[in-house]
Amino acid sequence: MIWIPITVAAAALQVARNAAQRSIMGEAGPWGATLVRFLFGLPFATVFAAAGWLLTPGAAAHPTPAFWLACAAGAALQIAATAALLTAMHRSTFALGTAMQQSGLPFALVWGVLFFGDHVGPVTWAGGLIASAGLAVLTWPRGEVVMRKGTVLAGLGCGAMFALSANCFRQASLAFEPAHPAASAFVTVMVVQAIQTVGLTGYLAWRNPGALRAVIAAWRQSLGAGFCGAAASGLWFTAMALSPVGPVRAVGVVEMPIAAIAGRRLFKERLTPLQLLAGAITAVGVVMAAVG
């Protein structure tokens, strides 16, 4: 059960990364802010991978074709999922896009069982569905909701692809060095972020060089986001090497109350009584998924 505190730590670091990214999104735009986690996270991911490998006696590398394929597929799916999420937000609202992204939780359970041979008990299934319902209420926008054509498809697509990419990362970590999941996870993070850095930097240099310049100009804030992002990814990958992705995603929902606290302190945001109730329901689902 060590994967549970690892997941909680990953969620906390992810909130810190998101807060840092939000501070630079104005000039860099959403794609520039997305690049930050890869470009400035890669040096830290490399240091973490080297340290983890050197401090793990008996670790032996197994860079099989399955490892490289899983890394490449996961990296591409994660970028595509981000594009789908941005599309959903653009065609509706930020909150609605966030709500539909949470479909990744049940998708993670489904993909793990269908394609990767994960064994998930009925309590975990129930907990995942309860947590998903609580998240939907927690993040659903208040007032009139406007959804243009393709919003639902983009929103559900991003959740499905985020979940599938997470399963790919789990398979990559297990393939590289199954006997030492932590060291293997940090190496996987380094490889995946290298692929994503090259791909997204090349895209921005071609289509939006202004965003690339804004990212470089905000290097001080970006370093903090990169460090938190690399550390969070390493811990996420470690947790997913120790447990199926579905339960990890369910426990990772603890990110929501952490984000709510951060939003209140940093951005003066408030939660309604209904959102607080939804948060409690989500917490029940998380506990069920963790112990199931």
Do 10 and 239 contact (CB within 8 A), yes or no?
Answer: yes
* Residue-averaged pLDDT of the chain: 80
Task: Give residue 96's pLDDT.
Answer: 60
* Residue whose C-alpha is closest to residue 25's, from 34, 16, 17: 34
* Confidence tier at 35 by pLDDT (50, 70, 90): confident
Task: Give residue 248's pLDDT.
Answer: 84
Task: Give residue 250's pLDDT.
Answer: 75
* Confidence tier at 66 by pLDDT (50, 70, 90): very high
* Confidence tier at 165 by pLDDT (50, 70, 90): very high
Task: Give residue 104's pLDDT.
Answer: 73
Give the CA count within 13 Å in the CB-facing half-sphere of 86. Answer: 13
Between the ranges 8-17, 72-81, 188-197, 251-260, where is the mean pLDDT highest?
188-197
pLDDT, average across residues 15-23: 70
DSSP assignment letter at 199: H
Give the CA count within 13 Å in the CB-facing half-sphere of 23. Answer: 16
> Please, what's the b/e burial string for 232-253 (b: 16 or more CB within 10 A of its CB; e: otherwise)?
bbbbbbbbbbbbbbbbbbbbbb
CB count in 10 Å sphere of residue 258? 16
Do 92 and 146 contact (CB within 8 A), yes or no?
Answer: yes
Domain boundaries, the chain: 2-291
Name 83's Cβ contacts closer than 8 Å, sequence gap at least 6. none
**Residue 59: burial class (beta carbons within 10 Å; 0-12, 13-18, 19+):** middle
Span 227-263, pLDDT tens digits: 998 999 899 999 998 988 878 877 877 766 666 665 5
* Confidence tier at 94 by pLDDT (50, 70, 90): low
* Residue whose C-alpha is closest to residue 278's, from 256, 248, 263, 250: 256
Between the ranges 62-76, 83-97, 116-130, where is the mean pLDDT highest?
62-76
Task: Give residue 26's pLDDT.
Answer: 62
Percentage of residues in the chain having pLDDT higher than 90: 27
Stated pTM of the model: 0.80
Q: How many angstroms separate the CA atoms of 2 and 7, rounded? A: 9
- Treating both helix axes as pointing N-terminal to C-terminal, what angle do 209-217 and 219-242 enclose, rounded to 10 degrees? 90
SS3 145: coil
